[in-house]
Structure 1
Amino acid sequence: MNAVLYILVVVIWGTTWLAIYMQQGVVSVPVSIFWRFAVAAGVMLTVLLALGRLRRISLRDHLFCLLQGACVFGFNFFCFYHAAAYISSGLESVIFSMAVLFNAFNSMVFFRQRPHANLLPAAVLGIAGVVALFWHDLVATRLAPELLQGIGLSALGTFGFSLGNMISTRHQRRRLEILSTNTYAMFYGAAIMGAIAWACGDSFMPELSARYLGSLFYLAIFGSVIAFGAYFTLVGRIGASQAAYSTLLFPLVALSLSTIYEGYVWHSNAVIGLAMILAGNLVMFSKPGMLKAWGKTIA
């Protein structure tokens, strides 16, 4: 079962980055996010009510769902959608793979779980990999503000996603039903984005094109209802840090699609950077003794 959930998350979320790129256009970012999660929450609510599986929760738990909605179904995507205007969708997914390190750090802060013995070497590899990945762009643009903004927004969005993981862990430790809490959180996330769009005077009319509506449907049903349900189920079954391991394979899927549809060019530093990020995440989940064994083997 874990393998099926894992594959669903990797395949679907590895492709949603391109769908986010396809959402760029005349519709404002808050409105696009509003429609994505309003549709997703509506579908989940309908299904759960039909099956009699929607669970009531306390006011305190609703407040945590509100916070989860802001972190995972609101402001983090606000960052990702804006970042897509500055960097390719594939590069966004690479930065998102750092969620595994954020989850390890946040688990230590919020649940006092001892960090993995390999956290430091993994973090060093990951940070160095991100620098290598963007090195060609950094040199070519001389640290253009737009590039740095895209990197910063993606990193901020990833950290928000990680905070949402911690809230989901809290829900499941309290034995709350994952589909119900996801439904409430999606509604709250949509409401927050809708309030921002309304305050900014944005039009709620979606773009009536096959490109926009198709990507919206894919993001709402596959990227939200199915993938988030599978991912947070994994969080409950194997833990937040291990579930985030699935982000290792996102860049391979996303960068491949970005190469085909966005014209992403693979420079040597990009290959090296991607390899370092993947290695850093692999180190994060290897057994502590394996690093010493590798060192002896190389020596």
Structure 2
Amino acid sequence: MPTLASPAQAASGPARTALPPLLWLCLAATWVVWGSTYLAIKYALISFAPFLQMGSRFLFAGVLLAAWMRWRGAAWPSREQWRNALVVGALMLGGGMGGTAHAEVSIGSGLVVAFIAVVPLLIALLNLIWGVKPTRLEAAGIALGLIGVLMLTQGSGFQSSPAGLAAISIACICWSMGSVLSQRSLPLAPGAMGFASEMICGGVVLLALSALSGEQLVWPPRPEAAAAWLYLVVFGSLIAFNAYMVLLARAPAALAASYTFVNPVIAMLLGVWIANETVTRFEWYAVAVVLAGVLLLLFKRPQKAKES
């Protein structure tokens, strides 16, 4: 199982000449699975309020993963590691995922994904505090990917509200802060047990927010909402979220955050396939720009990979 590496360990680790298969699988999970979760969140919102939806999803997934790891003999997190999990979980899941779901109540999922594309920029800025500067290729990839996402939103007629825009802005800031802190100063328990503790803590924070905001459970849930919730638990939480945490531990921050450029493309393709939406030639050009930005991040991968 991977462990979180410090900046010094990352700098001294041996360089790799190829992207390991595990990281390819993690990238695929964050790119494709997370790209599909925005549609799933919309369906789940039919019966599950935003914070309740996210809190129940992550708490359930975290308890399952923790039980599985304990059965396999993994050590229980220490008090300090639980504290770190609470801080990181509150930021990434409470603020990040909770804010995203809350935003999708009032603004379109396409605009939500476009806003999330600023995450690599925020992570790069926060990493400056630790003296970690993006290379020219990484900076170019981030900039190109962001341009492509902005192109993707043109002519789409997004409807938004001040509350929704505030929610997604807070979500991006919280997610970025949690991502950087988990890498630099708040290490979790080793391997999947650390991810499980983060999901448990984040789930509890989200359920507390749900109670404070007076959210009500609609029971029984609509079949499509229940199916979407289950999909979010298994694929969005147990698979994709854990894949992202592995990338944070073993890959450069810019590559770990590259899903923010690919997710809008996946969301658009799913719209064409499932909702019979029309994609213009200009939007396909935007897809090419997004993928070009991701390729620039990948080209720099061999010099930046980490070992655990």
With the length of structure 1 as denominator, give the TM-score of the two structures.
Answer: 0.79
Is 1:219 aligned with 2:239? no
Secondary structure of residue in 2 paired with 1:224? helix
Secondary structure at 2:257 match in 1: helix
Mapped to 2, the partners of 1:235 and 1:135 lie a distance apart of 31
Alignment of 1:82-121 (within 5 A): 82-109=102-129, 111-118=130-137, 121=140
Partner residue, 1:251: 264
Quote the offset at 1:37 in angstroms. Answer: 1.0
- In structure 2, the gaps of 5 or more residues are 1-21, 301-308
C-alpha contact (below 8 Å) 1:136/1:269 kept by paired residues: no
The question of whether the paired residues in 2 share the 8 Å contact of 1:66 and 1:185 is answered with: yes
Which residue of 2 is the match for residue 235 of structure 1? 248
In the alignment, the residues of structure 1 paired with residue 209 and residue 50 of structure 2 have an alpha-carbon distance, to the nearest angstrom, of: 10
Distance 1:118 1:149 in 2: 36
How many residues end up aligned between the 2 structures?
279
- Structure 1 pair 240/57, CA: closer, same or farther in 2 (3 Å)? farther
Separation of aligned partners in 2, 1:275 and 1:154:
25
Instruction: Check conservation: 1:130, 1:273, Cα contact below 8 A.
Output: yes
Counterpart among 44, 48, 70 of residue 49 in structure 1? 70
Identity, in percent, stands at 23
TM-score by length of 2: 0.77
Q: What residue is the counterpart of 1:62 in the other structure?
A: 82
Match of 1:160 among 170, 174, 178: 174
- Partner of residue 134, structure 1: 153
Match of 2:95 in 1: 75
Query: Does 2:41 correspond to 1:20?
Result: yes
- State the distance in 1 between where 2:208 and 2:47 align: 19
More helix by share: 1
Question: What is the CA deviation profile of residues 231-254 of structure 1, one whole-angstrom value per residue up to 9, with x for unaligned ones?
Answer: 211221123222223443322222
TM-aligned CA distance change 1:232 to 1:171, over 3 Å: farther
Give the C-alpha shift of residue 43 in structure 1. 0.9
- Which ranges of structure 1 fall in alignment gaps of 5 or more residues? 288-299
Deviations 1:180-199 (A, max 9, x none): 22222212211112112222
- Over 3 Å counting, the alpha-carbon distance change for 1:41 and 1:245 in structure 2 is same
Q: Summarize the Cα distance change of 1:58–1:42 in structure 2 as closer, same or farther, 3 Å threshold.
A: closer
Preserved CA contact (<8 Å) 1:178 1:232: no
Alpha-carbon displacement from aligned partner over 1:55-104 (angstroms, at most 9, x marks no partner)? 32233x33321121112222212221133234443453344344333322
Structure 2 CA distance for aligned equivalents of residues 149 and 273 of structure 1: 28
Q: Which moved more, 1:11-20 or 1:152-161?
A: 152-161
Cα shift at 1:216: 1.0
In the alignment, residue 267 of structure 2 is paired with which amino acid?
A
Aligned-residue Cα RMSD (Å) equals 3.0
Counterpart for residue 13 of structure 2: none
Contact map agreement 1:98 1:126 (CA 8 A) in 2: no
In structure 2, distance between residues paired with 1:47 and 1:198 = 29
Offset, 1:40:
0.8
